[in-house]
Structure 1
Amino acid sequence: MQYRRFGKTNLHLSVFSLGTMRYLASFENAHQIIEQALALGINHLETARGYGKSEEYLGRALKAGLSIPRTKLYITTKISATADADTMRRYIDESLERLQLDYLDCLGVHGLNTWQHLEWVQAKNGCMKAVEEAVADGRVRHVGFSSHGSLELIQAAIKTNFFEFVNLHYYYFFQRHAPAIQLAAEKDMGIFIISPADKGGKLYTPPQTLKDLCHPYSPLELSYRFLLGDNRINTLSIGPANPDELIEPLQVADHDGELKSAEISAFQRLENHQKLALGTDKCSQCYACLPCPENINIPEVLRLRNLVVAYDMKDYGQYRYGMLENAGHWFPGMKSDRCTECGDCLPRCPEKLDIPELLEDTHQKLNGKAGRRLWG
């Protein structure tokens, strides 16, 4: 296992962090996963107030005693932004009680997804007043935020200078947030990548087309190497449902140097194949098509279409498309069958795509069972 400095926190975290959203089959399962993660070199455990019994199970495991002393572990929990300080005070106290801890190494303001959330953070008597009190009295040592919001919102949150780290969605198959990565690095913030295996493409179960294009690497391995080859990125979330799911990902935990020529060739192969498969229908993700009068998340819909057409990533496409209209501000926007063919987006598209036609095609390819957030 390699370790990296987590920005200005000066904590040295393992390049993989244990996410605890999926270990909830039982306390025994959670305990086994935690011990396996520690045995494999992970020293950062991340949970959240909203993850069911996750905090409680982690607290019980800490109380029962682990193979690594608390002083060599780093614990993060996340609490959603609140409109007032009193609510945040109560939430911090409740999380510490469930975790059976006197202090948190890191507290993340969770799901800073809307401009209203940012207003709460910046308000004089908003949630950050309570967070700052907890830092002052030693119950919280470092403060950051996570976001599923727009690039512009994320950049605005970084520029508040309230935060020492950020949890972001950023993957080979979703590079929209590259400017936020750069801005956070310039401010020496810790950079934590959220769910690169699942949200990054359902890469535990990739389609054969993608496996063939990535060979001799697995799509999961190549995705991790894309991130770990970037020394601005400090740690990646891994969220196993059982101890065995730690094994394959952590095979790359010691391979965190610059990309090798064979890895670069594999990425070039993926890019060339996408260009060939999509032809003139490729959406370059410039976001110029927005805003849409029907609030269709056009860039995200067309990103999913890119992946389905180029790499046969239909399972992933249906999974993410099904979240639209079902996950609120965690995954905003309407599905593409809402298109009225008003034509507003057409003159704004630099590639002159027939966006209404591509939206209809995507809906036909991906519409299925509605999705939802695991916790909401």
Structure 2
Amino acid sequence: MRYRRFGKTDLPLSVFSLGTMRLASESAAIQTVQRAIALGINHLETATGYGASEQYLGAALRSSLSIPRTQLYLTSKIPPTASADDMERTIDQSLERLGVDYLDALAIHGLNTEEHLAWVTASNGCMKAVRKALDDGRVKHIGFSTHGFLELILQAIATDQFKFINLHYTLFFQRNHAALDLAQQKDMGVFIISPADKGGLLYTPSPMLEALCQPMSPLALNYRFLLSDPRITTLSVGAANPAELDLPLALADQDGELSVMELEILERLHRQQEMVLGSDRCSQCYECLPCPEGIHIPEVLRLRNLATAYDMTRYGEYRYRMFENAGHWFPGNKGNRCTTCGDCLPRCPEALNIPALLQETHEKLNGAARRRLWE
């Protein structure tokens, strides 16, 4: 296992962290946490909104662990609130459920909207309670997690209230590149959220994607892409049981620069997109937004890119069906809301027929509605 400094927190975190959202019982938590620690993981992450995750993790911490509490780093996440009193109460409840006196890191969970940003910048908002917890030692370091648009993420980083960020960024979603750059400038720790699942359902890739990534697996390639980036501190592994740790942690000591072979695979993937998508390839410039009908055009077309070029259709269905069902966690309407108003067309540098592509994507990927896993 390799370890990296978590920005200005100065915490030496393992390059893989155990995310506990999928732990479904106390016994699973105890077994998985013990296995993670035995494999070198020293950072455990949970949230108040992850069902009984905090209670299960607390039980695991009370079991016979092989590492002192001072060498084990705990993060929990609490949603932003308009009220300092609500935040104060939730921090104490989180500590009680975990059975600990302090959190090494507390993340404002889901800083996704302008309203959330206003709450954390208000003088009497939730950060008043967070600052109190920092002062009295219940919390050591404060950061935030986000599923928001890049512009909002950059604004949140620029407040200089946070020492770390939990961020979506993977091989197949590089929109937040500028957020990584700014976080590095601010000496913030960077924790990558769900790189295997939301990064492309990479535990179960399409045969086409597997073939394109040979002799590596798509999962290994994505992990290597992230581990080779010095701006990134640690990657989440959301194991539901001890066995699910083995595959990702086989790469826990491989955090050097990308090899010639790995770079060749990345170039192969790029050529495949250009060849298959041709003039219909969306470059993810986001110039088409805002859409009058609230369609998240770039994300719809990103899912189309992946489904068409790599047959990542199952992943596309999984994400597309969350539109209109997950609120600010996955904002935007589906492609069939397009009224062909043409507002986006003159802004697209590729001159894409966006209304036609939106409808095509909807027909390909729509189905039963999906919600986030922990709902």
Structure-1 separation of matches of 2:324 and 2:330? 8
What are the residue-to-residue correspondences of 1:22-101 with 2, within 5 Å?
A: 22-24=22-24, 26-101=25-100
Q: Map of 1:211-230 to 2, 5 A cutoff?
A: 211-230=210-229
1:10 and 2:2 correspond = no
Q: Deviations over 1:250-295 (max 9, x none)?
A: 1111000000000000000000011001000000000000110100
Q: Is the 8 A contact 2:30 2:63 kept in 1?
A: no
Letter in 2 for 1:67: S
Amino acid at match of 1:18: L
Instruction: Measure how far apart 1:67 and its partner are.
Output: 1.8
Matched position secondary structure for 1:140: coil
The 3-state SS of whatever aligns with 1:275 is helix
Q: Which has the higher mean CA deviation after the structures are superposed, 301-310 or 62-71?
A: 62-71
* Partner AA of 1:350 in structure 2: P
Counterpart in the other structure of 1:249: 248
C-alpha deviations, 1:129-154, integer Å up to 9, x for none?
00000000011000000000010000
C-alpha distance in structure 1 between counterparts of 2:196 and 2:320, whole Å: 17
> Structure 1, residues 338-374: CA drift from partner, whole Å, max 9, x if none?
0110100001101000000000110111011110012
Matched, 1:360 2:359: yes
**Residues of 1 paired with 2:63 and 2:202: CA distance?**
34
What CA deviation, in whole Å up to 9, does each residue of 1:190-214 have, x standing for no partner? 0000000001000000001000010
Per-residue deviation, 1:66: 1.2
CA–CA distance in structure 2, aligned partners of residues 68 and 136 of structure 1: 27
Q: Which residue of 2 aligns with 1:303?
A: 302
| Code of the aligned partner of 2:168 | H
**In structure 1, what is the Cα distance between the partners aligned to 2:64 and 2:80?**
32
State the SS of the aligned residue for 1:76: strand
Alignment of structure 1 residues 103-118 onto 2, 5 Å: 103-118=102-117
Distance in 2 between residues matched to 1:313 and 1:335, nearest whole Å: 18
Matched with 1:343 is: 342
Matches of 2:366 and 2:62 in 1, distance apart? 46
Please say if residues 336 and 362 of structure 2, whose CA atoms lie closer than 8 Å, have aligned partners that are also in contact: yes
Matched letter for residue 192 of structure 1:
F
Give, as a single letter, the amino acid of the residue that structure 2 aligns with 1:100.
Answer: G
The TM-score normalised by the length of structure 2 is 0.99
Q: Tell me the alpha carbon deviations over residues 205-237 of structure 1, each in whole angstroms, 9 at most, x when there is no partner.
A: 000100001000000000000100101100000
- 1:19 is matched with which residue? 19
- Rounded to whole Å, the distance in 2 between the matches of 1:113 and 1:65 is 38
Cα distance in 1 between the residues matched to 2:208 and 2:373: 28
Unaligned segments of structure 2, at least 5 residues: none
2:101 and 2:23 mapped to 1: Cα distance?
A: 24
Residue 240 (1) aligns with residue 243 (2)? no
CA distance, structure 1, for counterparts of residue 230 and residue 178 of structure 2: 15
Shift of 1:375: 2.8
Question: Hey, which bits of structure 1, 4+ residues long, moved more than 2 A?
Answer: none
- Shift in Å, 1:71: 1.3
- Alpha-carbon offset, residue 65 of structure 1: 2.9
- Following superposition, the deviation at residue 80 of structure 1 comes to 0.3
Q: Which amino acid aligns with 2:51?
A: G
| Corresponding residue for residue 260 of structure 2 | 261
The CA deviation string for residues 75-111 of structure 1, in whole angstroms up to 9 with x for no partner, is 0000000001000000000000000010000000000
How far did 1:64 drift?
2.4
TM-score in terms of structure 1 length: 0.99
Q: CA deviation at 1:319?
A: 0.2
Distance 1:302 1:160 in 2: 32
2:208 aligns to what? 209
Identity among equivalent pairs (%): 66
> How do 1:65-214 residues align onto structure 2 when only pairs under 5 Å count?
65-214=64-213
Mapped to 2, the partners of 1:260 and 1:237 lie a distance apart of 23
Deviation at 1:243, TM superposition (A): 1.1
Once the two structures are superposed, residues 25-64 of structure 1 have per-residue CA deviations (whole angstroms, 9 ceiling, x without a partner) of x210111111110111000000000000000011111122
How far did 1:73 drift?
0.2
1:75 is paired with a residue whose SS is strand
Tell me the CA shift for residue 241 of structure 1: 1.3
Secondary structure of the residue that 1:183 maps to in structure 2? helix
Q: Write the deviation string for residues 112-132 of structure 1: whole angstroms up to 9, x where unpaired.
A: 000000000001110000000
What letter matches 1:342 in structure 2? Answer: C
In the TM superposition, what whole-angstrom CA distance separates every residue of 1:166-211 from its partner, at most 9, and x where no partner exists? Answer: 0000011000000000000010000000000001000000001000
What secondary structure is seen at the aligned counterpart in 2 of 1:104? Answer: coil
For 1:329 and 1:231, the matched residues in 2 are separated by 30
SS at match of 2:104: strand
Letter in 1 for 2:354: I
